[in-house]
Amino acid sequence: MMRADDFNARRQEIANLNDTQLRDKFWQLTDEVIKPLLELARTHTSPSIERSILLRMGFSSLETQVIVAKCVEYGLLSKGAGNVVWRLAQLESMEIRAAGLALAEGQHWEGVKAYFAREVKR
């Protein structure tokens, strides 16, 4: 089955635009395409994404696996594993690395979970 060629009809919309208007049109259309992807990224995550974030925060692969598994266990993965580590560091006045290692050792999970539960109620 052949696709109907509508190039000439679509080209009429932009035929009289100058370079600045074409550039503006390009970025407007790009924003329309990207907006749903950004929203999806903002509202959805996965264990592999969260491990990747923790790796970039300086944790080892083995440490990230434990932290992410605990985030899943405590229902906090949707908050972001890096955010959980950062939030604990803020709450307990700890260095980020120390906070992550404490979480990996099973410490502070109830406190972090309670913090995020309070945050939801606001």
Tens of pLDDT, residue by residue over 52-77, are 999 999 999 999 999 999 999 999 99
DSSP classification of residue 108: S
Distance CA 101, CA 70 (A): 12
Contact assessment for residue 57 and residue 85, using Cβ atoms and an 8 Å cutoff: yes
pLDDT computed for residue 121 by the predictor: 60
Tens of pLDDT, residue by residue over 19-59, are 999 999 999 999 999 998 888 877 788 999 999 999 999 99
Distance CA 89, CA 101 (A): 11
Q: Is the pTM of this model over 0.75?
A: no
Range of the domain at 23: 7-43
- Domain shared by 60 and 107, yes or no: yes
Q: At 43, is the secondary structure helix, strand, or coil?
A: helix
- Tell me if 2 is assigned to some domain: no
- Domain shared by 22 and 37, yes or no: yes
Residue 122 has pLDDT above 80, yes or no: no
The total of structural domains in the chain comes to: 2
Distance CA 56, CA 58 (A): 5
